[in-house]
Amino acid sequence: MSKRILVSSLIAAVVVGGVAAGGLAMASSPDTEPAVKNTAVRYVTPSGPAAGSLTFTADASDDSGVRDLKVIAWPASSKLDPTEAELRHVDSATCRPATEETSRCTYTLKVTREEAAGLDKGTWYVSALMTAKDGDTAFAPRAATFGLTG
C-alpha cells in the first residue's frame, strides 16, 4: 500500500471521527429552551356522593430548573383564549423534580356535582405557563384538549 493512500485514509478516519464525535456532543446536549411537554388531561365526572376531578400532568423543563407551572382549563365555546400575562395569576400545579432540568407537574381540581352540572359541554382546553428558575418562560396556550359530554 502506498504511503499516500495510507495518509489519506488516516486523515479521512480522523475527519469522520471528529464529525461523529461532534454529532454525538450535539445530540446529547440538553435543550436550553424552556418547554412544556408530554401533557395529559383526565376529567372524571362526579358520581354519587363522590366529587369528580380534573387532572392535568406535564413535564416542564429548562436548563436552570423549573420554578412553577400555572394551569387553567377553559371551554372552547367561551372564546376565552387566555394570554401568557393572564396565566401568571391562576392556580399552580405541584411540580416534583425528575432531574435537575425537568419536573413532573400535576394539577388537580376537585369538581362537585353542582359545579359539573354548570360546566359547558363540548371541547375544553388546558393552557399552561411554565416559569424556569432563571425567569425564562414557556407558554402553551393549548397544552391539552379534552371533552365534556352531557
What's the grid cell of residue 107?
394539577
- For residues 33-57, average pLDDT: 96
Strands (E), 45-118: 52-61, 66-75, 94-97, 102-111
Give the residue from 103, 95, 88, 97 showing the smallest Cα distance to 137: 88
- For residues 94-99, average pLDDT: 97
Domain of residue 19: give its range. Answer: 1-30
Q: Are residues 20 and 74 in the same domain?
A: no
* Mean pLDDT score of the chain: 85
pLDDT digits (tens, 9 = 90+) for 57-78: 999 999 999 999 999 999 999 9
Q: Are residues 99 and 51 in the same domain?
A: yes
Q: Among the residues of 70-142, which ranges form H helices?
A: 84-87, 113-117
For residue 87, is pLDDT > 90? yes
Q: Are 136 and 62 in contact (CB under 8 A)?
A: yes
As a whole number of Å, the CA-based R_g of the chain is: 24
Non-local (6+) Cβ contacts of 134 within 8 A are: 62, 64
What's the grid cell of residue 73?
382549563
What integer pLDDT is reported at residue 60 of this predicted model?
A: 98
For the chain, how many structural domains are there in total?
2
For residue 12, is pLDDT > 60? no
For residue 44, is pLDDT > 60? yes
Q: Are residues 59 and 115 in the same domain?
A: yes
Q: Are residues 26 and 49 in the same domain?
A: no
Q: Tell me the C-alpha distance between 95 and 104, whole Å.
A: 6
